[in-house]
Amino acid sequence: MRKLKTLLCATGLLAMLSAGSAQAAGQEEMIEMGKAVYLNKSRGNCVSCHQINDPDATQAGNQGPPIVAMKQRFPDKAVLRAQVWDATVNNPITIMPPLGKHWILSEAEIDAVVEYVYQF
Amino acid sequence: MKIIKTMAFGVGLVLSAQISQAADSGFTLETVNPEADRVALQNYFKKRFPDAELNDYVNGIYAVDSNSREQWEEIEEFPPYEFAVEEGEALFNTTFANGKGYADCFENGGIGIRQNFPYWSKEEGTVKTLEMEINECREANGEKVLKWSKGDIAKVSAYMAWTSRDQVIDIKLPEDDAGAMAAYLDGKKFFYAKRGQLNLSCANCHVQGANIRIRADLPSPQLGHTSHFPVFRSKWGELGTLHRRYSGCHKDSRSHPLKPQTETFRNLEYFQSYMNNGLAINGPGARK
């Protein structure tokens, strides 16, 4: 019992100490995941239609506008997320797949790819 | 470098802003007008690609993309389908067990008739494709039917296309038969309807998205699509029929393809081929 208490305290302390950097690490992980979603053919495959200034995004297509100046063009991140979740709301005949509405990506993956593109 | 990149981006933006779909006569039996559709499609591409010659659309993406055209012209110097056409000719001229042959099943002995397919059969109330009639010919003469997508059927079809090169595509829509118009409309609707997990229509890629990159792929304009089938694709390393290509495009957009030669695919072929009226048969073709 005593042992358990110490363990709990220690964990608590550790958690308190690392809370700040955990958030940063979380953000980094999220962007990492978002990038994978962006590039992976069987996930978001955004790169097949959108150029982006990331050296790993080779052979990008140009069906859609390039991913640039995201913060200026989407001051409200929720609007950007909505575009990714269902592009047909803005344009019913768009070629962009409704990545959220059609369960192509999970909600977490959509959050991640939004964080990733928001850097550009 | 950065400036050049930004400029290229700008062009992409303008392009995507101007793009609309060329489906002018609508999607109901009351309004649909195939001739108006055909002219609207031609005008749409004339506007999009002012430098491309109308008669060159039978060459697919190579009519509008000069980069890949060079590679293609090199391929055409030693056509990869040549051998298959010879095999197709041999198959075509091999008599069936009952002493008859393909020539007995078709008008003009099967020579120089590709441009009239597919056609609306009043008697049967359905669209008849060339491949369908090749197999019907076999069946009627007690032979086993061939598989639809590749192999012997594609070779026989390739030979028949070969003997029809430069014939002008002439798809008819008999006005005294409402079934023909309904089949056309079904094919047209299918072409413009979104489907599959990726929510893509044929028109998404082959009208508004034509000659715009999806990763490294460039979809061809739909004008001219059917003129050169069956096609020898480097990726396949062999010939394939039009309906094989339809299946491939379905899979690329994460939707389940229909079976080759099902009614809807035949209606799609009817619609697409009607769009090409006035252009010339140039099958078999070679593609990447």
Q: Which tens digit of pLDDT belongs to each residue from B127-179?
A: 999 999 999 999 999 999 999 999 999 999 999 999 999 999 999 999 889 99
Q: Assess if residue A10 is contained within a domain.
A: no
The tens digit of pLDDT for each residue in B65-104 reads 988 899 899 888 999 999 999 999 999 999 999 999 999 9
Complex ipTM over 0.95? no
Domains in chain A: how many in total? 1
What is the domain range of residue A74? 20-117
pLDDT of residue A33 exceeding 60, the answer is yes
Is residue B249 among the annotated active site residues? yes
Q: Assess if residue B6 is contained within a domain.
A: no
pTM listed for this prediction = 0.89
CATH number for the domain that contains residue A64:
1.10.760.10
**pLDDT of the residue at B252:** 86
Calculate how close chain A gets to B209, using CA atoms only, in Å. 7
- Comparing alpha-carbon positions, the chain A residue that sits nearest to B216 is A59
**pLDDT of the residue at B23:** 56
Dist. CA B59–CA B279, nearest whole Å? 11
Q: Assess if residue A5 is contained within a domain.
A: no
What is the domain range of residue B229? 32-288
Calculate how close chain A gets to B74, using CA atoms only, in Å. 24
Calculate how close chain A gets to B8, using CA atoms only, in Å. 10
Chain B contacts of A55, Cβ < 8 Å?
Answer: none
Q: Assess if residue A13 is contained within a domain.
A: no
Q: How sure is the predictor about A16, in pLDDT bands with cuts at 50, 70 and 90?
A: very low
Q: Assess if residue A72 is contained within a domain.
A: yes
pLDDT of residue A105 exceeding 70, the answer is yes
Chain A contacts of B202, Cβ < 8 Å?
Answer: none
- Which residue in B53, B83, B82 sits closest to B69, CA to CA? B53
CB contact at 8 A, B188 and B27: yes
CATH number for the domain that contains residue B287:
1.10.760.10
Domains in chain B: how many in total? 1
- What distance, in Å, lies between the first and last C-alpha atoms of chain B? 31
Task: Determine whether the interchain pair B216/A59 forms a contact, defined as Cβ–Cβ distance below 8 Å.
Answer: yes
Q: What does B209-230 look like in DSSP terms, one character per residue?
A: TTTS-BTTB-PPPSTTTTTT-S
Query: Mutation test of the interface with chain B: which of A51, A67, A95, A96, choosing the one with the most B Cβ atoms within 10 A?
Result: A95
- Comparing alpha-carbon positions, the chain B residue that sits nearest to A46 is B215
Dist. CA B262–CA B87, nearest whole Å? 27
Q: Assess if residue B217 is contained within a domain.
A: yes
The answer to whether residue A65 neighbours chain B at the CB level (below 8 Å) is: yes
Q: Assess if residue B167 is contained within a domain.
A: yes
Q: Assess if residue A2 is contained within a domain.
A: no
Give contacts of B 165-224 with A, CB under 8 A. Answer: 194, 197-201, 203-205, 208-209, 212-217
Q: Assess if residue B173 is contained within a domain.
A: yes
